[in-house]
Amino acid sequence: MYALWVILLYLLMLIIRTIKSSSVWDRLLGMALVSTKLTLLIIIYASMENTAYILDFAIIYTIFGFISIYFISIFILDRRKVPEHDALKEDAESMLGYRDSRNIPRKGDSFIVASKLHSIEHLEE
């Protein structure tokens, strides 16, 4: 019984951490962890009540959780792809201010823009 309360408390803290996270990937990882902890709660409850059909719901919930996380991550990756590298490079250079051939980011520069510049230059080589 205490295990349920401990996992429920951990689940609540995990939900708060997921909501406050800054990046999309942190939120996606938080969603996966919440899904795992809910599955664990369902399994513990089913074992306490001695009901096997609730375990079937846990298995189905786990499968749906995995599939949804997979497709959400594919959607996020596809959304970030840009077909024209030259336009992306020009946008990134205008945001960072072209400094030298290495494009070293300064303090306060966006890491995402700097990494896009680096990956585009790597593609051009």
pTM over the 0.85 mark: no
Same domain, 17 and 55: yes
Strands (E), the chain: none
Q: Tokens for 105, please give them.
A: 């980011």
Q: Nearest 5 degrees, angle CA 4-CA 29-CA 79? A: 150
Q: What is the pLDDT along the chain (125 residues), one digit of tens a residue?
A: 788 888 889 889 988 988 888 888 888 888 899 899 999 989 988 988 999 899 999 999 999 999 999 898 888 887 766 554 555 555 555 555 554 445 555 555 555 555 555 555 555 55
Same domain, 36 and 72: yes
Same domain, 57 and 35: yes
Q: 14 lies in which domain range?
A: 2-80
* Domain total in the chain: 2
Same domain, 109 and 54: no
**Pairwise CA distance, residues 9 & 15, whole Å:** 10
Region of 50 please: left (phi>0), alpha (psi -120 to 50) or beta: left
Same domain, 72 and 102: no
